[in-house]
Chain A
Amino acid sequence: MDFEVIARNFPFMLGGLALTIQLALITLAGGLLLGIILAVARLSSRSWLYYPATAYVHFFRGLPLILVIFWIYFLSPVLTGRSLNEFLAAVVSFIVFEAAYFAEIIRAGIQSIPRGQAMAAHSSGLTSFQCMRFVILPQALRNMIPALVTQAVVIFQDTSLAYVIGLREFLRRVNLVDAREARSVELYLFAGLVYFIFCSIGSLCSQRLEHRRERNSL
């Protein structure tokens, strides 16, 4: 076992980590935003909002992310006439894909609030918008946070898929080092460890938040 190889290539591989984190954060922000819009559309009684949003969610949840990445990669030159740079292709694919998952989490969160709450709010004369803003959403968001954090952890892991379009994020760099140094065991254990540390922290946070919520709820 030669762990020197990790030390020698550390800066190179860590550079990839910065890119990974960037990708993850942008995806998180974009995915959440699009997810909220989709969730509200899925809860709407207006067909022109409900059906497209539902189709979108089922479509992207039924496909592997890797295929979505390829699809966007092949599709964008056709639509825009020029090829997309890798980072942008990755970002767009991730946002488009993860939004479908966020949409379901948010929708479930809103639906988990008992009907009686909306009835009580409406019975005092509050409009649907006021009811959402003051009564439903504050409670729903509180309930959703553990699931949202878990999804953020998933996103962090999914960034490794940008590998397939050659983006030099963390895993791709580990792979490059392995190609040169052929010390696969040490390198992939190292890669695993790095992801493990980040994701464990994320999962722990999610669990803590879950416990805190359970203690505080009625």
Chain B
Amino acid sequence: MGFLNYTFDWSVLWRHPYGGMFLDGVFTTIHLSLLAWIITMPLGIAIGICRVLPSRAIRFGASIYVQVFRNTPFLVQLFFWYFAAPLLLPKPAQEWLYNHVPDYSYWAGVTALGTYTASRLAEQFRAGLLSIPRDQYRAAYSTGLTTFQTYRYVIVPYAFRIIIPPFTTEFLTCFKNSALTMTIGVMEITHTAYYVDSFTWHGLETTTAASLTYLFISGCVVLFMWFVEKRLHIPGMIARGR
């Protein structure tokens, strides 16, 4: 079998300089995802709300955003931000970008990831808002609460609990998509695994380590969100599966 021709060398994972590279890769993945998420949350929620506002123009604009970003592959968007977007800027801005922003690929990655995930989040948020029965609003208004009070005390706390699972899923998707930024040169986990292989020919160990890292971090996020959900749980509200 092929195993005979392959000697495992797990020390590539911690040996100098590779150990350091791996750690850097892990941190890069984490802060890239978090920065993208900082863009995504407000943008996604805003667009989600725009999708349900009374003004047709606003609704239409928001749905264009969502359609465009959802129906093109993330990789294409990434390439667009990295290769094409700077060319649309006026010459002086372009020069500044190329000469004064180190790690331009990192920032292109953050922008692409942020805007892409925002479109997905917008849809989840909209679904969450729409799932609240109209009678909830009616009940609140009938006791004399103003629109603002209704949203503040009744709707938002209710919606918040509904959207936690989809938001968690979207964050994890964002986290996994960060791996794609390797195509424009960002040294996150997957790229590091590939890179180390090109020096050591031990790609199997590196990709296994990378896989376990993703699984571990995803697992931590899921555990944390499960804990948060439990704390915020309203008895009898959302039926859990059998």
Contact = CB atoms under 8 A, between A and B. Distances in A.
Nearest to A202: B71
A81 B211 contact: no
Interface residues of A, number: 40
B2 A70 contact: no
A59 B215 contact: yes
> What secondary structure prevails in chain B residues at the interface with A?
helix
B215 A63 contact: yes
Contacts of B3: 78-79
A140 interface: no
B87 A63 contact: no
A196 interface: yes
Contact of B180 (A63, A70, A80, A161): A161
A12 interface: no
B180 A192 contact: no
B75 interface: yes
Given A66-B179, A184-B83, A189-B84, A195 B215 contact: no
B193 interface: yes
A187 B211 CA distance: 33
Interface in A45-89: 59, 62-67, 70-71, 73-75, 77-81
B214 A64 contact: yes
B177 interface: yes
Contacts of A63: 176, 211, 214-215
B73 A171 contact: yes
A188 B84 contact: yes
Contact of A160 (B6, B73, B84): B73
Contacts of B75: 160-161, 163, 171
Interface of B: 1-3, 5-6, 67-68, 70-77, 79-80, 83-84, 87-88, 172, 176-180, 182-183, 190, 193-194, 197, 203-204, 207-208, 210-211, 214-215, 218-219, 241-242
